[in-house]
A and B are shown apart, each in its own frame.
Chain A
Amino acid sequence: MSQTIQDLPGTGPAPQTGPGAGARPDAKSNNPGLFRMLLRDKFASAGAVILLLVLLTAAFGPMLMGDLATRQNLLFANKAPFNPANGWEYFLGSDSLGRSVLARLVVATRTTLAVAVPAVAVAMVIGSLWGVWAGYHRGWRENVSMRVADVIMSFPSLLLAVVVLYVFSPSAANIVLILALTRIPIYLRTARAESAELQSRTFVDAARTFGARPNAIIRRHVIPVVTPTILTLATLEFCYVMLAESSLSFLGIGIQPPDASWGLLVSQGRQYLQTAWWLSIFPGLAIVITAISANMLAAWLRIATDPAQRWRLALPGRRKLIVRLKAKESK
């Protein structure tokens, strides 16, 4: 039903807010800006703002913190947070070497993103292009690709991690490499499924009838349609990658000190849980809040980028779903 609803006049995405907007919509305003749609969804906006903050922190935070994150003071170890007497640097307390938890959190933001973002980006680009290609051509290309995905999926990723991180070094770049490699199948499968479905669509057939080459069709018709799905997926994967990185830290093969990532901070702080809870709670919160924000944004993005669902977001405020009629007045 949603298909037809969308296609019927009067229900398409419309710009005018408020009832009774009478003028015929012009072409442009009929697609309300993504940004304005975002503003309408409180939760998604909050998510976006938080993610933006995280990004800004990663970009500029370390600069502001100077050497605060590495400055040790063994005599000032494990000081509790929220004590104004300690100065703003220690607002979130100090760690076991007397470093500012706040500063370390800020610096870790950059490392965390420096791992998660490239890992997601690399996996996304490779996986989705590959998947789109495989799905478009079908046949053996599709089969081989899916088998490769199977292999990667059932490969013990931990072994891969250990090998790469031991044989080479546990550098951020290698962690990115592993996380990217192991997550490629996710995109590959999604993109393949979508692309296989798309290649049988009529508008793709139409493009074939004028002799467009496969790559041109993929570029023009498949990629733009697959992109929103992939982006949504990538947002979710971002959370997964953050968690995976923290698990690696727990096993001692993640980011290595003196670098710090949120996962590593949680992992290191876990033994102080009962003596200095702030060491693991704050970075843990950072992970959870970022993940929830990303999820919120992804949920919104999923709808906002789907032309068949976008109208949901544009609906005016909630009303009672069923307006019960008043009992008929006596005739």
Chain B
Amino acid sequence: MLSYLRKRIISSALPLLVVIVGVFALARLTGNPASLYLPLNATEQMRADFTARHGLDQPLLVQMADYFGGVLQLDFGTSLRTGESAATMALRAFPATLQLAATTMVLAILLAVIVGSWAALKPNGIADRISSFVSMAAASIPDFWLAIVGIWIFAITLGWVPTSGVTGAAAWVLPIGTLVMRPFGALVQVVRGAMVSALSEPYIKLARSKGASQTRVVTHHALRNASAPALTVAGDLTVGLVNGAVVVETIFGWPGIGKLMIDSILQRDFAVLQACVLLTAVAIFVLNIVIDLLYALLDPRVRPASAVSRARKARPAPAPVETAPANA
């Protein structure tokens, strides 16, 4: 376990660093923020002062060194826009996104498992056709459009839920209802596919030969085996959500990291952007570890102790996180 973690950290640290450096450089490619923050008729002198005050006149490498020096001392810089600590802003926005992402994924997985299993019981049956139709439609509706229609119908016309905001449980309905569509659609397909193949595995027949009922066969024997591919895709989808559900956050006024990120891009608020990226990259890193652990929990074959038997198969088991997602 420890050696696994160590390996994992080493193999992920470099990409993490590359991401940060890339963001750092790319952000600065978007131009000097001086004109955004100075009065329209600011003089050259004022611009130069501003640029110098924020160290933007230094060569990129120096700026980067400064930044990483600061990061090592847990100083992530201050926001140009609000003057607050960038880390504070990112940390404040992140829980909102996380809550949204977690609820969405739990719901999406739950629904997808039910619908996908149901569809898989009779491949190409009527239930299968309906569920594939519904899930494909769910996955292909532009989310912003769905959000606005949702507000129109459920908040204005029916008045069941508030239009937006974060106060009260009812306020979660629309954002999550919007967000859940795409993961749900994608997962139904994956779950269905995995269930179809799990249900045709020999161990299903074995279970039936012991007199197990259909329900037991599905919930007990097939589902857990079908969970690995679904987990891979769910992981990728969660990464997308953790990176911020910009559109939904924008529309519903959800104070999340996606909105903060896009705002800081638009405002050239580099420190905040970097803090956000750093935070989400670390979160994604943790997420991947969690997914690895889940794999091991769900499937004993990928647990470290299985070395011997795997050796007999002569082929190293592929690292689960690197397997391809079915469709995102």
Contact = CB atoms under 8 A, between A and B. Distances in A.
A17 interface: no
A318 B124 CA distance: 9
Contacts of B143: 243, 247
Contact of B327 (A167, A189, A236, A270): A236
B60 interface: no
B139 A189 contact: no
A153 interface: yes
A34 interface: no
Interface in B9-51: 11-12, 14-16, 18-19, 22-23, 26-27, 29-31
A250 B323 CA distance: 32
Nearest to A189: B324
B284 A200 contact: no
A243 B142 contact: yes
A111 interface: no
A242 B141 CA distance: 10
A311 interface: no
B315 A200 contact: yes
A166 B26 CA distance: 11
A270 B265 contact: no
B interface SS class:
helix
Given A151-B18, A186-B328, A239 B247 contact: no
A251 interface: yes
B234 interface: no
A266 B23 contact: no
A interface SS class:
helix
- Could you say which interface size class chain A belongs to? 35 or more
B289 interface: no
Contacts of A225: none
Q: Which 5 A-B residue pairings sit nearest by Cβ, starting from the closest?
A: A291-B140, A190-B324, A236-B327, A150-B15, A295-B136
Interface of B: 11-12, 14-16, 18-19, 22-23, 26-27, 29-31, 123-124, 129, 132-133, 136-137, 139-145, 148-149, 152, 182, 189, 200, 202, 236, 239, 243-244, 246-247, 250, 258, 261-262, 265-266, 273, 276-277, 280-281, 284-285, 315, 318, 322-328
Interface of A: 1-2, 43, 143, 146-151, 153-160, 162-163, 166-167, 186, 189-194, 196-197, 200, 233, 236-237, 239-240, 242-243, 246-247, 250-251, 263, 266-267, 270, 273-274, 280, 284, 287-288, 291-292, 295-296, 299, 312, 318
7 contacts: A155-B22, A156-B277, A159-B265, A163-B29, A167-B29, A292-B133, A296-B136
